[in-house]
Amino acid sequence: MTDSYLMRNLRAVRGRAYPRLIGSTREPSWFVFDVILPLFTIAGYAYVYKFLDARAELIGYVVLGGAMTAFWLNILWSMASQLYWEKEIGNLPLYLMAPISRMSILAGMAVGGLFETTIQAAMTLAIGAIAFNVVFSLASPVMLLVVFVVTMIALYGMGMMFASLYLLLGREAYHLSALMMEPVYFASGFYFPVRHLGFWAAAGASVIPITLGLDALRQIIFPEGIAEDAFLPLNTEIALLSGLCVVFMVLSRYALRYMEYLGKTTGRLTLRWQ
């Protein structure tokens, strides 16, 4: 019996997730570096806060933010640039010819990358918390899970959209990833409460889902700092993150369709100025 369209796409998700799940075990040194290296940045900011005799929860913000950098790096280097690299090594024509949705290919990449990155982030968080005596006051495990899930869906939806845009931009994909890495650390408040950038700057940075997600996670894990550091009420941030999930999924689908249209009508997958 011929497989249904749904089953083909589910198998595509599994097929693209598998290499990322297995690949991390083939080069264990990469995993060690991905866990340990963020700790140096965490230590730098933590000691600055200690020197300034800052509130204890600010060091906790740094540890949490440092752990969350793993997800942003995964979006830039393993999602946004992926279709460009697949084109370079010759796999992209196979993806375009396959009788499946291109969204399922990107979804598989997201599932595999999310699993591996979550383990890395959890280990970085645990080591950082032990090293700097961070005390977590978890207000609601259910809300923590809800915030994490909607943040990851929105963030990886953004990565799917970037995957098509980076492919359209061609060789500039690598430079864009490098350009967006450090500024987002600052604008999204990875190492300090984003509220202190000012309302409009924080609102602009909220287009990047990890900004609201990180602020919401801090409200749940460090409830004692809510009044002084929270950007928006928790329920408002969850609602905005849910909206970003829809927006980025729709935009990623539109970007993929435009990429295919460009290939069919012009015979190439980059913009004309490339």
Q: How far is Cα 112 from Cα 22, in angstroms, rounded to an integer?
A: 9
Q: What is the pLDDT of residue 269?
A: 64
CB under 8 A, 24+ apart: contacts of 41-49: 41/66, 41/69, 41/191, 42/66, 42/124, 42/128, 42/132, 43/131, 43/132, 45/191, 46/128, 46/132
pLDDT over 50 at 181, yes or no? yes
For the residues 90-100, what does the mean pLDDT come to?
81
Pull the structure tokens for residue 69. 């950098």
Q: Do 224 and 57 meet the contact criterion of CB atoms below 8 Å apart? A: yes
| Stronger pLDDT, 263 or 244, i.e. the higher one | 244
Q: Which of 55-69, 88-102, 109-123 has the lowest mean pLDDT?
A: 88-102
The Cα 17–Cα 13 span in angstroms is 6
Which pLDDT band, with edges at 50, 70 and 90, does 268 fall under? low
1, pLDDT greater than 80: no
Q: Is 6 helix (H, G, I), strand (E, B) or coil?
A: helix
Whether 150 shows a pLDDT value over 70: the answer reads yes
Q: Please report where in the chains the tokens 């752990």 appear, as a residue.
A: 67
Confidence at residue 47, expressed as pLDDT on a 0 to 100 scale: 92
Residue-level pLDDT at 106: 86
Name the DSSP class of 207.
T
Specify which of 73-82, 106-115, 223-232 reaches the highest per-range mean pLDDT. 106-115
- Alpha-carbon gap, residue 146 to 73, rounded angstroms: 22
What pLDDT, on a 0 to 100 scale, did the predictor assign at position 78? 79
| Confidence at residue 259, expressed as pLDDT on a 0 to 100 scale | 79
Tell me: pLDDT of 267 over 90: no
* d(C-alpha 203, C-alpha 197), whole Å: 10
pTM of this prediction?
0.87
pLDDT digits (tens, 9 = 90+) for 96-146: 788 888 888 888 888 888 888 888 889 989 999 998 988 888 778 899 999
When pLDDT is cut at 50, 70 and 90, the band that residue 274 belongs to is: very low
Residue with the larger pLDDT of the pair 66 and 102? 66
What value does the mean pLDDT take over residues 180-188?
Answer: 87
Nearest to 151 by CA among 197, 110, 108: 110
